[in-house]
Amino acid sequence: MMHRKFTSRLAATALGIALSGAAFAEPVEDTLTIETDDGEITLVTQAPAPAHLEGALKTIYSGWHFREDDTRGMQKDDFDNPGMVFVDRGMDSWNAAQGANGESCAGCHQGPESMAGLRAVMPRVDAKTGSLMIMEDYINGCVTERMGLEAWGVTSNKMKDMLALISMQSRGEVVNVAVDGPAAPFYEKGKEIYYTRYGQLEMSCANCHEDNYGNFIRADHLSQGQVSGFPVYRLKDAGLVSAQQRFVGCVRDTRAETFKAGSDEFKALELYVASRGNGLSVEGVGVRH
């Protein structure tokens, strides 16, 4: 892999990015085989880039490959993965009679296995309404319209617990987000945002996650910014982080006014970013530093 440089030296300096040869490292060679309650599962964390990324990336990597040994290790055993506590909480919420008339998710959907496969194709354009949906939209649709409750906050703990539970039902399935047909305009919009330079630092997602993955930014080994591992358990926050939240954090780091979590802009961005991971496994709940 070539050593790549930032186009803006000022931005690089401002962020304290050391761009010496020593500050580059290949993604770690490792295999993500996870000990689960019912045996082992091996995830695809590295794959040929999907056709629509031709000229941009040859190989796509899960963010897992850029983390340190102990962090990667935690994701190799569900017992050690702190995110599983939140999956359990999601399960309690799934079964709870919390609707205005005592409805539960389970009452209509049976077990959470009924959601198998969904995470792998999200975000997507809903066939009935034609609108772009992130998982949070589907959940809130049921919470408000079918359970008569106030919408859950897009980045609330309740929401993230449910994202974790539903995401786990697709663990190991290969991400296959549609980019054509009704998804095409959202894909284009997300792509435009991905390549737009924001903030005082004038940096785009691509400047960091396409041009500079492998380089170190302060102590962080820069990944390709994939969302296949989301929601992730983040050690720094001692809690779950959703993709929408991560986007807010990354844009804020460029010292820009950020779009809101759950905004049309970030929904389109999530579709685009997720599609850059077509071919990687859904990780259920990843572990990051």
Quick one: 15 or 32, whose CB is closer to ligand HEC? Answer: 15
CB of 38 to ligand HEC, least distance (A): 23
Per CB under 6 A, the list member of 254, 275, 278, 281 interacting with ligand HEC is: 254
Sign of the torsion formed by the C-alpha atoms of 257, 160, 31 and 172: negative
Quick one: 39 or 89, whose CB is closer to ligand HEC? Answer: 89
CB of 261 to ligand HEC, least distance (A): 12
Quick one: 220 or 237, whose CB is closer to ligand HEC? Answer: 220
Site pattern 61..100 for ligand HEC (x: CB under 6 A) = --x--x--------------------------------x-
CB 286, CB 175: distance < 8 Å: no
- Residue of minimal CB distance from ligand HEC? 63
Q: Is 205 a catalytic site residue?
A: no
Site pattern 103..142 for ligand HEC (x: CB under 6 A) = x-x-xxx-----x--x-------------------xx--x
**Among 69, 82, 81, CA closest to 221:** 69
Taking every pair of Cα atoms in the chain, the longest distance, rounded to a whole number of angstroms, is 62
Main-chain dihedrals φ then ψ at residue 278, nearest 5 degrees? -55, 120
Is 206 exposed, middle or buried (CB count within 10 Å of its CB: 0-12, 13-18, 19+)? middle
- Residue 41, SS3? strand
Quick one: 78 or 123, whose CB is closer to ligand HEC? Answer: 123
Is 132 exposed, middle or buried (CB count within 10 Å of its CB: 0-12, 13-18, 19+)? buried
CB of 39 to ligand HEC, least distance (A): 25
CB of 248 to ligand HEC, least distance (A): 9
Cα distance between residue 90 and residue 47, in whole Å: 30
Name the residue with tokens 């400047």.
Answer: 207
**The one catalytic residue among 105, 108, 208, 250:** 250
- Residue 186, SS3? helix
Contacts with ligand HEC in 167-226 (CB under 6 A)?
A: 203, 205, 207-209, 217, 220, 222-223, 225-226
For the chain, the distance separating the N- and C-terminal CA atoms, rounded to the nearest angstrom, is: 24
For residue 229, state whether it binds ligand HEC (rule: CB under 6 A). yes
Cα distance between residue 229 and residue 15, in whole Å: 26
CB 247, CB 231: distance < 8 Å: no
Bond before 231 cis per omega within 30 degrees = yes
Per CB under 6 A, the list member of 163, 251, 280, 282 interacting with ligand HEC is: 251
For residue 248, state whether it binds ligand HEC (rule: CB under 6 A). no
Cα distance between residue 163 and residue 18, in whole Å: 36
Binding site for ligand HEC (CB under 6 A): 15, 63, 66, 99, 103, 105, 107-109, 115, 118, 138-139, 142-143, 146-147, 162, 166, 203, 205, 207-209, 217, 220, 222-223, 225-227, 229, 232, 243, 246-247, 250-251, 253-254, 269, 273, 288
Q: Where in the sequence numbering do the catalytic residues fall?
A: 250
